Amino acid sequence: MNPVMSNKTFSNLGYNQETMTVKGTINKSFFLWAILAVGAYLGWGSPNVFMPLIWPLIIVSFILAIVTVFKKHIAPWTSPIYAFCEGLFLGVITLFFEKSYPGIAVNAVFLTISVLFCMLFAFRAGYIRATNKFYAVVGVSTMAIMLLYVVNLIITMFGGAGIGFIYSSSTFGILFSVAVVIIASLNLIIDFDIIQKGAMSGAPKYMEWYGAFALMITLVWLYLEILRLLSKIRN
């Protein structure tokens, strides 16, 4: 499950007269995606400038995310900065993959958008319901993947080769990436459900920004996993 979203996200917020709406969250999501697109364009167009800044961008994005999680009321200010930093990072990373596998960027963007709208349709039509069991399965699976990635990062930081199948283009490596893409996609259902519950419970207006921020985190993760999967298939 998206680490910045849970059933407790919208509790104890001190509700006021201006309340969160699903439409408002959607509007703010488009605004954040536009900022991310500007950052991605700059990162893509000036890789020599931003490539050395990859790790600083990751660190800044991580700090902004943590601060936003614990100080949700500042999401209207932190989420646009986060979106821009993520955009710069994605622009550079996508260009790296594009040079190795021409055409992969367009395919990854198209597939990410397609998955987003398919999951939204499935959620609105009731084909996929966010039950307690669904939350549990997706949440445990997501945490397991995140733990695996953290262990892999620690191994590589100490000079190791990392966990092979994460990068491998073998059958098992591809199946692993397919599984991760599926879990990332199902996280969108949980995001939709929590945003809807927040709006129905009359959460404060600033939570629209937080909902848009949380949804963007899932979409960025999904995009990166699709990019990795396509690179494995092309390789």
- 6 domain residue, yes or no: no
- 190 domain residue, yes or no: yes
Contact 135, 143 (CB under 8 A): no
- 9 domain residue, yes or no: no
Local structure of 11: helix, strand or coil: coil
Least Cα distance to 188 among 224, 166, 144, 221 occurs for 221
- 227 domain residue, yes or no: yes
Sign of CA dihedral 6, 8, 12, 16: positive
pLDDT reported for residue 234 = 86
Per-residue exposure over 206-232, b if at least 16 CB sit within 10 Å of its own CB, e if not: bbbbbbbbbbbbbbbbbbbbbbbbbbb
| pLDDT > 70? residue 202 | yes
Count of structural domains, the chain: 1
For residue 205, what are the contacts with CB-CB under 8 A and spacing of at least 6?
16, 18, 19, 20, 24
> CA 194 to CA 161: how far, in whole Å?
38
| pLDDT per position as a tens digit, 77-123 | 999 999 999 999 999 999 999 999 999 999 999 999 999 999 999 99
Least confident of 51-55, 70-74, 120-124: 51-55
Instruction: Record the tokens describing residue 149, joined without a space.
Output: 């990635």
Instruction: Record the tokens describing residue 205, joined without a space.
Output: 């207006």
- 108 domain residue, yes or no: yes
| pLDDT > 70? residue 54 | yes
Assign 157 a pLDDT band (cuts: 50, 70, 90): confident
Q: Mean pLDDT of all residues in the chain?
A: 88
pLDDT reported for residue 1 = 58
Instruction: Record the tokens describing residue 89, joined without a space.
Output: 């990072």
What is the extent of the structural domain holding 54? 22-234
Whether the full predicted model's pTM is greater than 0.85, yes or no, is: yes
| pLDDT > 80? residue 188 | yes
- 16 domain residue, yes or no: no
> CA 60 to CA 83: how far, in whole Å?
11
Local structure of 98: helix, strand or coil: helix
- 210 domain residue, yes or no: yes
pLDDT reported for residue 213 = 95
Helix boundaries (H) for 101-206: 104-125, 132-157, 164-167, 171-200
